[in-house]
C-alpha cells in the first residue's frame, strides 16, 4: 500500500511538471517558474497532494548533480586555468562580506550570534542550479558575466562543507570549531587533488575500453558511475555531490568522449533538475506568507537589494564594466538551495529556532522564485547601460572628420571582424556599425572604429557618409535584416557597391534579386571572400 502511495505521488509530480511547464511555455515565461509554481501548488503546505518529500528530494538533488556535470563538460581544466584569478577572489570576498553583513543585521534583531552567523552565511550563497540553468539556456556561460558568476558559485560550493562542520560543532558544545574546520579543509583538498590526479589518468583509458564493447547500455552505465561515484567521494569529505560531479565533468571535457557522454546524461538532467525546482516550490508555505506578509516582503527586498548592491560594488572593484557588474549583481542576488541544507541542519541541532528557520526558508524560496524575472531585468538594465557607454554613430556625425572612399561594415560579428582585419592589413579606411553594445565595447577597447547604430535608418546612413563610400559589406547573421538593408541601400544609392553575406543559396538568390553587387554564401570562408571582393582592383 505504501508503494502504491509513493508511485501515486510520483505520478502527481510528473503530471504537475508537464502541465505547468507547458502553460508557462505558452505564456512565454521561463520554465523554471513553472516548476517552482507547480511545487508550491501540490506541496504539503498547499493542496498537500505530495507529502513524502524525502525520496523526491533525493531524486531532485541528482538534477543539480547532472547540471553541474554538464557545466564541467563545457569548462575543461585548461579553460579554468586561464580565467582571471581576480574572479575567484571576487567569489571569496562576496561570501565573507555578504555573510558578515547579513549576520550582523540578523544579530541586531535579537538573534543569537551563532544562529545569525549560520543564517547570514547561508543566505550569502546563491542558487547554483537556477543561475547555471539560466546561463546555460541563454548561452551566457562564456560571457564575462557568466564566467564571473560561475567562479563565484564554485567558491560558494566550496564553502558549504566548512559551514556544515560549523553548524554541527555549534550543536555539539564538546567539540572545538577551529580544529574541526582545519581537518575538514585538509580532507577536501586531498580529495579534490586525488580526483583530478587519478581521473586524468584513468578516465580516458576506462572509456576507451567501454567504447570498444560497442554496447550503448554499458557506456551509459559507466557515465552514471563516474558522475555519481565522484559525487559520493566529495560528499563523504563534506563537499557537495554536485561539486564532485562538476570535477568529473571537467575531466571528461578533456577526452574525445565528451559529446557522447553529454548525450547520455541529457534526459536525466532535464527531468531531475525540474524535480529539484519543484521541491524548492514545495518549501513555500502560503499560510505562513499570509500571516507574515509584510515582514517577508521586507526581508525578500532587503536580501535581493543588499546582495545585489554588494556584488555590484565588488565587481566594480574587480574592474568589471558597470553593465556587467549590474547584470552579475542581479543574477546572483537570490538565496540558494544550500541555505535549506544549512538552516535545516541548524534547526535539527537546536542552533536556529524553528519559526526563524521557516522564515528564512520561505524568504530564500521566494528570492529563487523571483530569479528568472530578475535575470531578465538585469540583462535589460545591462544592455541599456552598455548602450549609454558605447560610442554611437551620431557622435561620428557630429565630429569634423568625414571618411571618404571607405568601407562600411554592417554587422561586427565573426564575419564582420574578419572583413575589418583584412581592411586594416590592406590599409583601407573602414568603419563598422553594430547593434550589440558588448561587441562594440570590446572592439573599441582594441581601438577599432565600431559604432552603435541601425543602418536601416536614413540618418545613420548619412552619418557614415555612405554616398562617399567605396563599398558596403552586409555581414549580418539575420536574414531578414540583411535583405532589408540591401533593399534600402540599393533604392537610395543605385550605383553603390553592396557586398553581402548569405546564409544559404536561397538567401543568396534573394539578395541578388534585390540588388546586391556580390553575394558570398557560408559554404565558403565568408569573411575572407567578402574582403577579397572589396579589395579586388576591379572594384575600384
Is residue 473's pLDDT more than 80?
yes
- DSSP 8-state secondary structure symbol assigned to residue 143: S
Helices 354-389 and 337-348 cross at an angle (nearest 10°) of 160
Is residue 102's pLDDT more than 70?
yes
For 353-403, how does the pLDDT look when each residue is reduced to its tens digit (9 = 90+)?
Answer: 888 888 888 898 889 888 888 888 888 888 777 666 666 665 655 554 567
Q: Which of 16-20, 192-196, 371-375, 517-521 has the lowest mean pLDDT?
A: 192-196
Beta strand segments in 90-235, E? none
pLDDT at 305: 93
Q: Which of 229-233, 467-471, 493-497 has the lowest mean pLDDT?
A: 229-233
Burial annotation 145-183 (CB, 10 A radius, 16+ → b, else e): bbbbbbbbbbbbbbbbbbbbbbbbbbeeeeeeeeebbee
Is residue 232's pLDDT more than 70?
yes
What average pLDDT is seen over the chain? 80
pLDDT at 400: 45
pLDDT at 77: 67
pLDDT at 246: 79
For 179-215, how does the pLDDT look when each residue is reduced to its tens digit (9 = 90+)?
Answer: 655 666 677 677 777 777 777 778 878 888 888 887 8
How many angstroms separate the CA atoms of 102 and 513, rounded? 64
pLDDT at 309: 94
pLDDT at 205: 81
Residue 347, H or E segment: helix 337-348
> In terms of pLDDT, which residue wins out, 190 or 307?
307
Name the band, by pLDDT with cuts 50, 70 and 90, for residue 332.
very high
pLDDT at 1: 47
What are phi and psi for residue 98, nearest 5 degrees?
Answer: -65, -45
Is residue 479's pLDDT more than 50?
yes
Residues 116-123, mean pLDDT to the nearest whole number: 89
Question: Closest Cα to residue 343, out of 412, 283, 291?
Answer: 283
Is residue 311's pLDDT more than 90?
yes
pLDDT at 387: 66
How many angstroms separate the CA atoms of 336 and 112, rounded? 22
How many angstroms separate the CA atoms of 467 and 523, rounded? 31
For 80-98, how does the pLDDT look when each residue is reduced to its tens digit (9 = 90+)?
Answer: 665 667 777 888 899 899 9
What percent of the chain clears pLDDT 70, i.e. is strictly above it? Answer: 82
Is residue 341's pLDDT more than 80?
no
Q: Which long-range CB contacts under 8 A does 434-443 form with residues at least 24 apart?
A: 436/412, 437/323, 437/383, 437/386, 437/387, 437/389, 437/390, 438/143, 438/323, 438/386, 439/412, 439/413, 440/386, 440/390, 440/391, 440/412, 441/321, 441/386, 441/389, 441/390, 443/412, 443/417
pLDDT at 415: 87
Residues 6+ apart with CB under 8 A from 103: 113, 116, 117, 119, 120, 121
User: Which residues are registered as beta bridge partners of 519?
Assistant: 500
Give the CA distances from residue 417 to residues 263, 446, 450, 452, 530, in Å, rounded to whole numbers and listed in that order: 33, 12, 10, 15, 11
Residues 251-276, mean pLDDT to the nearest whole number: 76
> In terms of pLDDT, which residue wins out, 162 or 366?
366
pTM over 0.85: no
For 266-298, how does the pLDDT look when each residue is reduced to its tens digit (9 = 90+)?
Answer: 777 777 777 777 877 787 788 888 888 899 999
How many angstroms separate the CA atoms of 120 and 109, rounded? 13
pLDDT at 301: 94
Residues 418-444, mean pLDDT to the nearest whole number: 85
Name the band, by pLDDT with cuts 50, 70 and 90, for residue 129.
confident
pLDDT at 279: 79
User: Which residues are registered as beta bridge partners of 410?
Assistant: 433, 474
DSSP assignment of 247-275, as one string?
HHHHHHTTSTTHHHHHHHHHHHHHHHHHH
- Domains in the chain, please, with CATH? 52-172+179-387 (1.20.1530.20), 393-539 (3.40.50.720)
What percent of the chain clears pLDDT 90, i.e. is strictly above it? Answer: 11
| CA angle, 461 then 379 then 250, to 5° | 115
How many angstroms separate the CA atoms of 295 and 253, rounded? 46
Residues 51-68, mean pLDDT to the nearest whole number: 70
Grid cell of 481 as nine digits: 535584416
Amino acid at each position: 500500500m505504501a508503494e502504491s502511495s509513493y508511485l501515486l505521488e510520483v505520478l502527481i509530480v510528473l503530471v504537475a511538471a508537464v502541465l505547468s511547464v507547458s502553460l508557462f511555455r505558452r505564456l512565454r515565461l521561463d520554465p523554471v517558474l513553472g516548476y517552482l509554481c507547480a511545487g508550491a501548488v501540490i506541496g504539503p503546505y498547499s493542496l498537500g497532494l505530495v507529502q513524502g518529500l524525502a525520496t523526491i528530494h533525493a531524486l531532485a538533488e541528482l538534477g543539480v548533480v547532472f547540471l553541474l556535470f554538464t557545466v564541467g563538460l563545457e569548462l575543461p581544466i585548461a579553460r579554468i586555468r586561464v580565467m582571471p584569478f581576480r574572479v575567484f577572489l571576487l567569489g571569496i570576498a562576496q561570501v565573507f562580506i555578504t555573510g558578515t553583513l547579513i549576520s550582523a543585521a540578523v544579530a541586531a534583531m535579537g538573534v543569537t550570534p551563532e544562529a545569525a552567523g549560520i543564517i547570514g552565511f547561508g543566505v550569502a550563497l546563491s542558487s547554483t542550479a537556477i543561475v547555471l540553468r539560466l546561463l546555460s539556456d541563454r548561452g551566457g556561460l562564456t560571457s564575462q558575466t557568466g564566467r564571473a558568476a560561475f567562479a563565484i558559485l564554485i567558491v560558494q560550493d566550496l564553502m558549504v562543507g566548512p559551514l556544515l562542520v560549523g553548524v554541527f560543532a555549534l550543536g555539539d558544545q564538546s567539540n572545538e570549531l577551529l580544529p574541526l574546520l582545519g581537518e575538514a579543509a585538509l580532507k577536501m583538498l586531498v580529495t579534490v587533488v586525488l580526483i583530478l590526479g587519478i581521473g586524468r589518468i584513468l578516465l580516458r583509458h576506462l572509456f576507451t575500453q567501454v567504447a570498444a564493447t560497442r554496447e550503448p547500455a554499458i557506456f551509459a552505465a559507466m557515465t552514471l558511475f563516474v558522475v555519481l561515484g565522484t559525487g559520493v567521494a566529495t560528499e563523504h569529505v563534506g563537499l557537495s555531490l554536485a561539486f564532485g560531479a562538476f570535477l568529473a565533468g571537467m575531466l571528461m571535457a578533456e577526452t574525445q568522449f565528451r559529446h557522447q557522454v553529454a548525450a547520455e546524461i541529457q534526459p536525466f538532467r532535464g527531468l531531475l533538475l525540474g524535480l529539484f525546482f519543484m521541491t524548492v516550490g514545495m518549501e513555500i508555505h502560503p499560510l505562513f506568507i499570509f500571516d507574515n506578509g509584510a515582514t517577508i516582503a521586507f526581508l525578500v527586498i532587503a536580501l535581493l537589494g543588499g546582495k545585489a548592491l554588494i556584488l555590484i560594488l565588488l565587481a566594480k572593484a574587480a574592474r568589471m564594466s558597470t553593465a556587467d557588474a549590474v547584470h552579475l549583481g542581479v543574477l546572483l542576488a537570490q538565496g540558494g538551495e544550500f541555505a535549506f541544507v544549512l538552516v535545516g541542519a541548524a534547526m535539527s541541532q537546536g542552533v536556529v529556532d524553528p519559526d526563524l528557520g521557516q522564515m528564512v526558508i520561505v524568504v530564500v524560496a521566494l528570492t529563487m522564485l523571483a530569479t528568472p524575472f530578475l535575470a531578465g531585468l538585469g540583462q535589460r538594465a545591462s544592455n541599456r547601460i552598455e548602450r549609454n557607454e558605447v560610442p554611437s554613430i551620431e557622435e561620428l556625425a557630429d565630429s569634423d572628420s568625414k571618411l571618404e572612399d571607405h568601407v562600411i561594415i554592417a554587422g561586427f560579428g565573426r564575419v564582420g571582424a574578419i572583413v575589418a582585419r583584412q581592411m586594416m592589413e590592406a590599409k583601407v579606411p573602414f568603419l563598422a556599425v553594430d547593434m550589440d553594445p558588448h561587441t562594440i565595447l570590446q572592439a573599441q577597447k582594441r581601438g577599432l572604429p565600431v559604432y552603435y547604430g541601425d543602418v536601416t535608418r536614413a540618418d545613420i546612413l548619412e552619418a557614415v557618409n555612405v554616398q562617399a563610400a567605396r563599398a558596403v559589406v552586409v555581414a549580418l547573421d539575420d536574414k531578414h535584416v540583411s535583405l532589408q538593408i540591401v533593399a534600402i541601400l540599393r533604392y537610395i544609392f543605385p550605383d553603390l557597391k553592396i557586398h553581402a553575406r548569405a546564409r544559404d543559396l536561397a538567401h543568396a538568390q534573394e539578395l541578388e534579386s534585390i540588388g546586391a553587387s556580390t553575394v558570398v554564401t557560408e559554404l565558403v570562408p565568408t569573411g575572407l571572400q567578402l574582403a577579397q571582393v572589396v579589395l579586388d582592383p576591379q572594384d575600384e
